[in-house]
Amino acid sequence: MHKKRIFLIVLLLFVTSKVTFSQCAMCKAVVENGDVSMAEGVNNGITYLMVFPYLLIGALFYIIYRYKKKAKN
Neighbours of 1 (CB within 10 A): 5
pTM for this predicted structure: 0.46
**Contact of 43 with 24, CB cutoff 8 Å:** no
| Alpha helices for the chain (secondary structure H) | 2-16, 25-31, 36-72
- Backbone angles phi and psi of 24, in degrees to 5: -75, 170
Q: Which pLDDT tens digits describe the chain residue by residue (73 residues)?
A: 688 888 888 887 777 665 545 556 666 677 777 777 877 887 788 888 889 889 999 999 999 999 998 888 6
- Closest Cα to residue 26, out of 6, 54, 48, 45? 45
Kindly state the DSSP code that residue 34 receives in the 8-state scheme: S
